[in-house]
């Protein structure tokens, strides 16, 4: 049976996420402000979107935009519920940042080298990264590989329960894993590196989706 994946997203439609989940072996169910009902699903996917409210990590808003405090609250409740149920969670872009804040970390509200990570008129930027030996990115893609990029913020203070496992050349944390729970995150966008969005200058994002769905099926 295909694993059922709950996708949390913002007010704007995000068709690339459910398309990738379905294409690589899962059954997607997405919602804006979804109810925390982990018993109905096998895993949670936190998608990209606007910035997390900086009050969540004890700061004033100096550079955040598209803040949606209702979404922040809903996703914190979702994370609570799926953690209690012991079910896998994958955060992508904003989801990567939400997880770090949830576990007690902070964000850089605007990266000093943000131009290296924000999209160009032609689409997502691409840059090289390195991965920690033995981590999930290294097992999937190797020690060094290129990913896409579409964000202006990044992890600042890393949450104590998380471990950074992938970095951009300028030091921005590109992936994390929880030290003991089935929780993973990436700053980049695998849903825009697979299927019709696959590109020759970066990795195949479908490999990550397929791996996450395998983790969901195990649970």
108-140 residues labelled b (16+ CB within 10 A) or e (exposed): bbebeebeebeeeeeebbbbebbbbeebbbbeb
pTM of the complete model: 0.97
List, for residues 84-121, the tens digit of each pLDDT value: 999 999 999 999 999 999 999 999 999 998 888 887 77
Average pLDDT, the chain: 96
Q: Would you state the structure tokens that stand for residue 84, as one six-digit string?
A: 């209690």
Number of structural domains (the chain) is 1
Whether 117 sits among the annotated catalytic residues: the reply is no
% of the chain residues with pLDDT over 70: 100
Q: What is the CATH number of the domain that holds 194?
A: 3.40.50.880
Per-residue pLDDT of 17-72, as tens digits, reads 999 999 999 999 999 999 999 999 999 999 999 999 999 999 999 999 999 999 99
194 is catalytic: no
Active-site residue, from 64, 93, 176, 194: 93
HSE-up of 44 (CA within 13 Å, CB side)? 34
Range of the domain at 154: 4-218
Q: Is 93 a catalytic residue?
A: yes
For the ranges 121-130, 168-177, 192-201, the lowest mean pLDDT is seen at 121-130
- Which of 64, 189, 194, 197 is catalytic? The answer is 189
Residue 214 CA to residue 26 CA, distance in Å, equals 9
Here the tokens at position 87 are: 């079910």
């Amino acid at each position: 049976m295909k694993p059922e994946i709950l996708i949390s997203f913002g007010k704007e439609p995000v068709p690339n996420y459910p398309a990738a989940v379905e294409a690589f072996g899962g059954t997607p169910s997405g919602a804006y402000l979804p109810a925390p009902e982990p018993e109905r699903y096998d895993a949670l996917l936190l998608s990209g979107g606007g910035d997390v409210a900086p009050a969540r990590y004890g700061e004033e808003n100096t550079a955040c935009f598209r803040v949606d405090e209702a979404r922040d609250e809903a996703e914190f409740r979702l994370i609570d519920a799926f953690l209690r149920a012991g079910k896998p969670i994958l955060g992508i872009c904003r989801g990567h940042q939400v997880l770090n804040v949830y576990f007690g970390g902070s964000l850089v509200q605007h990266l000093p080298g943000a131009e290296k990570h924000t999209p160009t008129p032609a689409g997502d930027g691409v840059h090289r990264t390195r991965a920690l030996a033995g981590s999930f990115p290294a097992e999937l893609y190797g020690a060094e590989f290129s990913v896409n990029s579409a964000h202006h913020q990044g992890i600042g203070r890393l949450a104590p329960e998380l471990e950074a496992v992938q970095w951009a050349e300028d030091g921005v944390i590109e992936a994390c894993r929880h030290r003991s729970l089935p929780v993973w995150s990436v700053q980049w966008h695998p849903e825009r590196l697979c299927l019709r969005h696959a590109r020759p200058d970066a990795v195949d994002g479908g490999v990550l989706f397929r791996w996450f769905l395998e983790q969901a099926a195990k649970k």
